[in-house]
Chain A
Amino acid sequence: MSGTLPHLETQNLSAYYGTTQALEDVSIVIPRHQITMIIGPSGCGKTTLLKCLNRFIELEENARVEGKVLLDGENIYSPTVDVTEVRKKSGLLAQRPYPLPMSIFDNVAYGLRIHRLRSRHELNQAVQQYLQVAGLWEEVKDRLHCPASQLSIGQQQRLCLARGLAVEPEIILGDEPTSALDPVSAQHIERRLIELKERYTIVLVSHILRQARRLADYVIFMYMGKVIEAGPAHQVFNYPQHERTRAYLSGEF
């Protein structure tokens, strides 16, 4: 039964930018169909860890990775693995949403079109379905063929969610996906994510502790490129085992 296996797992993962080490010997598990939140002070390696999970780290200049990232037990850094397949399995929400330079409809249809051909009818249906899941359908159904850049930034982030879901990923990665949004839009996204964890494994980076307390089922606390503590949210938040975690949670740094 796949439910007992962690969805994602890293083994002795280290990452370097040139000669600077950004991640040091990270071994964590990410449970299936839960919201895992990576927290820690800025510069602690949260985003780097997230980038390792979909091989985005390879897009950085001079970046180098050691160790393994297992997706359902298979190492995504193995040379036989196709990087586009890895990225297809995870949707990404960036800090600032970047719609593709095309219409609202084409943004969602893009992923469907590049991964398999679909008939016009199927495309229409799928686009509607994913826009509904992302909670954007009602707002855009009358202007699907307008440029996506006309949407507000909060709507753009939901469009990016819909676009990511259309690729039918198993995992949703979010790099502080609400940090550029106004409070109402942020709440919109948070609510979607809570709904979506039934079907997707969600990994979020956040530097907002209150958000982590609201959303997290599982928490990874990082400091200076190392994982200090990881575990179920209630355990880490209420009974932190490590001195540093306690200090961070109480707002000392």
Chain B
Amino acid sequence: MRWKWQYLEEKFMQGLMLLSFGLILLSLLLILFTIVSKGLPSLSWEMISQTPKGGFYLGKEGGILNAIIGSLYLALGGTLIALLFAFPLALLLNIYLSQRLWADIVRLSLDILWGIPSIVYGAFGFTLMIFLGWRASLLGGILTLALLEFPIMARAMDEVIRRVPPDLPRAAYALGSTNLETAFLVLTRQILPGIATAILLAFGRGIGDAASVLFTAGYTDRIPNSLFSPAASLPLAVFFQLGTPFPEVQQRAYSAALILTVIVLGVSLTSRWLSHVLDRYSIH
């Protein structure tokens, strides 16, 4: 009778896998459908080329260029600063820290940081800014986003480096390479596709986050002209417009969501393509 059980197990698990597959696909399509069907009608050139005019939030003229530019500034800045620290940390964990215990402590800390809700980062950033006497500003938002993105990026890179077969750095050491040469000339070359993915993963998380920039970057109808002026962002544009009682403004919230989704989608596809191109020289 054993064969019959195996057959049933097989079928049951296959069913479960198909179900998950279907659920994932369905949710994605449903989200896209909602955003597109509600957002497309009010999406216009005006929406992406103008800043809000007077009465915009009551349904009058204007666009959300302030939020688009603000979001790009915030996410690009945050990603850049996170990269500045995440990449060296990932190298440190894998090449220089010979004591595995320390590396594991750092990894655990990063995992905890990764799991902290973004509103906590927002509150932390806000507290810090009050302490420093800063107002809500682009710089405050960038730094908070960098904090939010840093653990994601560092851990993603760390995992990529850990998957490199140990014989590869050894081959470099055998040629008389120093640790630094091994790290930058050999390891980095091998994991470039993974680095690209890690950066864009963190960027996607950063540009979509509302809670961390709520207090730190603030919101403004103007395009930020310095690091110390407040900056609007797309997630908050969605949030504020959805919160109004006017249907036409609520519809614009969906257009803002659509724009955000297109940016994130574009970034994901670029990262896929980039990984593929950079993978050409990697050793498998």
Chain A residues packing against B (C-beta within 8 Å)? 54, 56, 59, 61, 84-85, 87-88, 90-92, 94, 96, 98-103, 110-111, 114-115, 147-149, 160, 163-164, 167
List the B side residues contacting A111 at CB < 8 Å. 175-176
Tell me how far the C-beta of B27 lies from the nearest C-beta in chain A, rounded to whole angstroms. Answer: 37
Q: Does B2 contact A (CB under 8 A)?
A: no
Q: Is the Cβ of B175 less than 8 Å from the Cβ of A114?
A: yes
With A and B bound together, what is the CA distance between A61 and B100 in angstroms? 9
**Chain B residues touching A, majority SS:** helix
Q: Is the Cβ of B167 less than 8 Å from the Cβ of A94?
A: yes
One of A87, A94, A103, A149 near B284 (C-beta < 8 A): A149
List the A side residues contacting B181 at CB < 8 Å. 114
Q: Which of B167, B178, B181, B281 has the most CB of A within 10 A?
A: B281
Q: Assuming the A-B contacts A101-B190, A110-B185, are A163 and B175 also in contact, with contact meaning beta carbons closer than 8 angstroms in the complex?
A: yes
Could you give 30 example pairs across A and B, Cβ below 8 Å? Answer: A54-B174, A56-B170, A56-B173, A59-B170, A59-B173, A61-B98, A61-B100, A84-B178, A87-B175, A91-B174, A91-B175, A94-B170, A98-B165, A98-B171, A98-B283, A100-B186, A100-B189, A100-B283, A101-B281, A101-B282, A103-B281, A111-B175, A111-B176, A114-B176, A114-B177, A114-B181, A115-B176, A148-B281, A149-B281, A167-B175
Q: Does B4 contact A (CB under 8 A)?
A: no
One of A59, A147, A167 near B281 (C-beta < 8 A): A147
Q: Is the Cβ of B185 less than 8 Å from the Cβ of A85?
A: no
Tell me how far the C-beta of A71 lies from the nearest C-beta in chain B, rounded to whole angstroms. Answer: 14
List the B side residues contacting A92 at CB < 8 Å. 170-171, 174
Q: Assuming the A-B contacts A96-B167, A164-B174, are A147 and B280 also in contact, with contact meaning beta carbons closer than 8 angstroms in the complex?
A: yes
Q: Does B168 contact A (CB under 8 A)?
A: yes
Tell me how far the C-beta of A96 lies from the nearest C-beta in chain B, rounded to whole angstroms. Answer: 7
With A and B bound together, what is the CA distance between A149 and B280 in angstroms? 9
Tell me how far the C-beta of B173 lies from the nearest C-beta in chain A, rounded to whole angstroms. Answer: 6
Chain B residues packing against A (C-beta within 8 Å)? 98, 100, 165, 167-168, 170-178, 181, 185-186, 189-190, 280-284
One of B175, B280, B283, B284 near A88 (C-beta < 8 A): B175
Q: Nearest chain-B residue to A54 (Cβ)?
A: B174
